[in-house]
Chain A
Amino acid sequence: MTLLDAERISVDLGGRTVVKQVSLRVAAGQLLALIGPNGAGKTTLLAALAGLRRFRGTVRLQGRALAALGRRERARALAYLPQGHTAHWPLTVRRLVELGRLPHLAPWRSPAAADRLAVEEAMQRTDIAELAERSFDTLSGGERARVMLARVLAVEAPLVLADEPVASLDPYHQLRVMELLRDYADSGAALVVVLHDLTLAARFCDELLLLREGSLVARGSADEVLSAAHLAEAYRVTALRGAHEDQRYVLPWRRLVAGESGET
């Protein structure tokens, strides 16, 4: 079942078109990676899909136009994880995760049993239950990333849009977060995730979308998208590639200088 259906999305920012006619679809159970060099428009596209940027084109959520949804309805249908994992006040972990329930709370009512349960489950899933009463400012980067992910999972939205959820994490926590995202997709959600690590994208995601200067360069499986020609065109690098345990890895190795082709 297609959860998110975006057609010919364009976004203008400061007089420049930074996303150009990009279309994408995500179905329940699918993890889709949005990749591309810095400034390719990945974040802007993701924010547009979340309804946070003006865009041209149409976005349908479960068959209904994004623009037709009420604010709270939209907030229950899609959860958005911005870059950076910042909290402006040092709340406890549990309080932060509880914020994910805001779209579900009736005015003036305290959280119901279902809300408590969703919060507990999100904390279990991300393995932060023992941090529940810790203050956010005392956590390590890896812990913060998992807390923010738990906040997003607590929304219990069928669609999750995550912007660089593994940025600035050590390898252990990168794998950990990717496993969590994969696991959440396998439980029936649809996810769109912005990634910079090509191997993580290739290993954990069902489909890859490669952007460059706001336009779609390639879409499909890791084999199709991460070809030498595409890497040369979009990233201007050559890469080492191989496979281990039936999974592909791609290791960017050398910059291309003008005129060189990506063949290795």
Chain B
Amino acid sequence: MSRAPDADLRRGRRVVAVLAVLAAGLALAGLLLGPLPLSPWQVLTGLIGGDERLALIVWEIRLPRVLLGLMVGASLGLSGAALQGLLRNPLAEPGILGVTASAGLGAVLALYFGLAQISAWALPVCALGGALLATTGLALLAIRDPNPLGLILAGLAVSSLAVALTSLALNLAPNPLALSEMVLWLLGSLRDRGLDDAALAAPFMVVGWALLLSAGRGLDALTLGEEAARSLGIGLGALRAQIIGGTALAVGAATAATGAIGFVGLIAPHLLRPWLGHQPGRLLLPSALAGAALLAAADLLVRLVPTRQELMLGVVTALLGAPFFLHLLLRGRRTLS
């Protein structure tokens, strides 16, 4: 019996372990670093409530930020890997396909029409609805027209439309306060989020993650094309619904909590392919961990780089991600068309 498959499995486990340690380390750094650097001992004191001021910093400011960063990063990385697998397109990503922007539009509409004041659930549910609409539309398009570049263009169109409608809502915003609140959904950020935001997003995300993580085998089979996948016992309708639903839940909840943060879902799987290969199922969990680590790192960067005003996280990921996207597009132009 050949040893190669075992070596392959071990390598996968090693990458997962390294990513988990990396994400945990960055999260810890997020708790320690800030305008007022804390020692691990002080963080611990704050966590158990030994000192009121420390408790305030840890529980109200740093912990929610770090937690949400990990959750949102994992959601985006995982959705990116799953969408790439389903659409068999290495450029697919919730941001590029307009899923994030549609979720943001949902959130802004919930604010604009005052639904968010009626119930705390209105905002995430509307964001989720926006994400669901966009993902379903794109999946339907992908069934009809399998050309990968056509799909990306359609995603960009969806994204532009959602951003335009969001801007329209901003334009017509009833007062400056509402305006400043709504701008957040165009430029995502982890600032000023509380534990209640994380708690509100968590149930949606957990269900979304479960749906996406359990789709691995189906995505692997799709490597061979739809007919072959079906002949291997994969129910394509169920698989599509699973990915669409999972993405809508994870990205919808993430966007509702932190606004539009792009490109994490594009970058995470791409960074892992040199180590893990191209098998879609094997990229899911590592992409979630890599997404979490990426966003935690980006948020550290935002907090530590001294600027007059704190940089918006969504702006930073776009500044890093857009050139990366362009690079992939130019490199893959021949193979994609």
Contacts and interface: CB of A to CB of B under 8 A. Distances in A.
A240 interface: no
Contact of A102 (B9, B232, B235, B280): B232
A88 B4 contact: no
A105 interface: yes
Given A82-B228, A92-B277, A102 B2 contact: no
Interface string A228-260: 000000000000000000000000000000000
The contact size tier of chain A is 35 or more
A47 interface: yes
A132 B4 contact: yes
B225 A88 contact: yes
A146 interface: no
Contacts of B1: 116-117, 120
A27 interface: no
Contact of B230 (A52, A95, A116): A52
Given A94-B5, A132-B2, A132-B4, A88 B223 contact: yes
A221 to B, nearest CB: 30
B171 interface: no
A88 B222 contact: yes
B221 interface: yes
Nearest to A84: B225
Contacts, number: 83
Contacts of B303: none
A111 B280 CA distance: 17
Give chain A's interface secondary structure class: mixed
Given A75-B232, A102-B233, A132-B2, A91 B227 contact: no
A71 B227 contact: no
A105 B228 CA distance: 17
A99 interface: yes
Contacts of B221: 99, 102
Contacts of A52: 227, 230-231
Contacts of A184: none
B231 A110 contact: no
A99 B232 contact: yes
- Name the residue in B231, B278, B279 with the highest tally of chain A Cβ atoms < 10 Å from its Cβ: B231
Nearest to A117: B1
Contacts of A99: 220-221, 223-224, 232
A80 B228 contact: yes
A198 B166 CA distance: 63
B217 interface: yes
A111 B281 CA distance: 14
B9 A95 contact: no
A107 B213 CA distance: 12
A89 B278 contact: yes
B224 A75 contact: no
6 contacts: A80-B231, A82-B225, A89-B223, A89-B278, A102-B234, A120-B2
List 9 A-B pairs, minimum CB-CB distance, nearest first: A75-B233, A80-B231, A89-B278, A88-B88, A72-B233, A71-B233, A103-B233, A102-B232, A82-B227
